[in-house]
């Protein structure tokens, strides 16, 4: 068995291993090219492949920042692993361990101090390891020195026949009358206040995500697939919510104005817009237990749970 850096001609074999090992997260060539090969942080030696019997039988995809994420910078201590697998015919023979040891050694020599699986912005596939789909993977990773930090919950909702319940409409009336809260589709007049608001309260990752949708919305690229709402209280921005196609979120409310129901109003208004556009399903990949309760009020059901893992090098 040989471990070597990825080569362009390995694509088909890596994807075959990916589909067989990460069977619940199959990936097509299109996404492999756009989210892996064209990622400016991608480096072939951090995608080592294991070759046996003349073909690729395993891989690990690790990333470190080569270009800064806005003012979040290069994060020089950090590394991420977003995907890995050994073909089922070759598992339990030490190949996974050899791949991980190889990548851990490489990252150490590059001065990295931590590895996280798999919250890498912007091109993660899933938040972490789905322990139901891959029951052996967490024991394997614990052997490699990783520990579970927390679980991310992924949920989805059927929006056919979606209606805003009367108590939410009532809440909307009350908030408007008592606190001057309004929820409106974003307009260009919001942008000078909105973008600094997003950075201030939610950081550069959320800024990047919002900017991506807003570039399409204001650039007229598939604008009808996007709903972007802004919540104001007495004229000042206090929250926003974004959605494209079936993917809902993120959405956020200024911590000073939480627990007033503003998040709930953003959520229900966005889902109603989606349903009226005949987008009859909504999903997101990542939330915690508290927000999961809010989502379940709107009909979201749990789909998958992902363990986010961390390793100190």
Ligand X SMILES: CC(C)(COP(=O)(O)OP(=O)(O)OC[C@H]1O[C@@H](n2cnc3c(N)ncnc32)[C@H](O)[C@@H]1OP(=O)(O)O)[C@@H](O)C(=O)NCCC(=O)NCCS
Residues in touch with ligand X (CB under 6 A): 21-22, 83-86, 91-97, 118, 126, 129, 134-137, 139-140, 143
Other C-beta atoms closer than 10 Å to the C-beta of 301 total 10
Q: Is the bond preceding residue 250 a cis peptide, omega within 30 degrees?
A: yes
Other C-beta atoms closer than 10 Å to the C-beta of 230 total 22
Spatial separation of the C-alpha atoms in residues 59 and 7, rounded to whole Å: 12
Query: Hey, is 211 helix, strand or coil?
Result: helix
Is-contact 287 155, C-beta < 8 A?
yes
Is-contact 133 23, C-beta < 8 A?
yes
Structure token pair of residue 70:
């806005």
Spatial separation of the C-alpha atoms in residues 152 and 172, rounded to whole Å: 30
CA 29 to chain centre: 19
H helices of the chain, where? 11-21, 29-31, 95-109, 137-143, 166-179, 191-219, 262-276, 289-297
The contacts found for 29-35 with CB under 8 angstroms, 24 or more apart, are: 35/123, 35/125
The set of residues, in sequence order, having a beta carbon less than 8 Å from that of 174 and lying 6+ positions away, is: none
Nearest of 62, 100, 96 to residue 81 by alpha carbon: 62
Structure token pair of residue 269:
């208004």
């Amino acid at each position: 068995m040989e471990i070597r850096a990825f080569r362009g001609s390995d694509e088909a074999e890596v994807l075959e291993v990916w589909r067989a090992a990460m069977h619940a997260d199959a990936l097509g060539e299109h996404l492999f090219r756009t989210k892996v090969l064209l990622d400016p942080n991608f480096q072939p030696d951090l995608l080592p492949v294991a070759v046996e019997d003349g073909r690729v039988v395993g891989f690990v995809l690790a990333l470190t920042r080569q270009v800064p994420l806005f003012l979040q910078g290069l994060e020089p201590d950090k590394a991420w692993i977003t995907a890995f697998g050994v073909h089922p015919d070759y598992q339990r023979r030490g190949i996974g361990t050899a791949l991980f040891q190889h990548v851990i050694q490489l990252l150490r020599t590059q001065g990295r101090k931590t590895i996280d699986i798999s919250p890498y912005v912007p091109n993660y596939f899933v938040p972490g390891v789905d322990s139901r789909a891959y029951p052996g993977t967490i024991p394997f990773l614990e052997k490699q020195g990783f520990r579970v930090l927390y679980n991310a919950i992924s949920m989805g909702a059927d929006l056919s026949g979606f209606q805003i319940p009367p108590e939410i409409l009532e809440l909307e009336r009350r908030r408007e009358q008592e606190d001057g809260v309004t929820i409106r589709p974003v307009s260009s007049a919001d942008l000078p206040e909105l973008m600094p608001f997003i950075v201030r309260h939610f950081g550069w990752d959320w800024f990047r995500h919002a900017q991506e949708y807003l570039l399409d919305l204001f650039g007229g690229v598939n604008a009808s697939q996007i709903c972007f709402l802004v919540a104001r209280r007495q004229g000042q921005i206090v929250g926003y919510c974004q959605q494209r196609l079936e993917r809902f979120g993120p959405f956020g409310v200024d911590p000073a104005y939480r627990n007033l129901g503003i998040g709930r109003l953003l959520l229900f208004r966005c889902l109603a817009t989606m349903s009226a556009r005949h987008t009859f399903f909504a999903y997101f990949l990542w939330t915690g237990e508290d927000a999961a309760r809010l989502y379940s009020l709107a009909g979201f059901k749990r789909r998958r749970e992902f363990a986010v893992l961390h390793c100190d090098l």
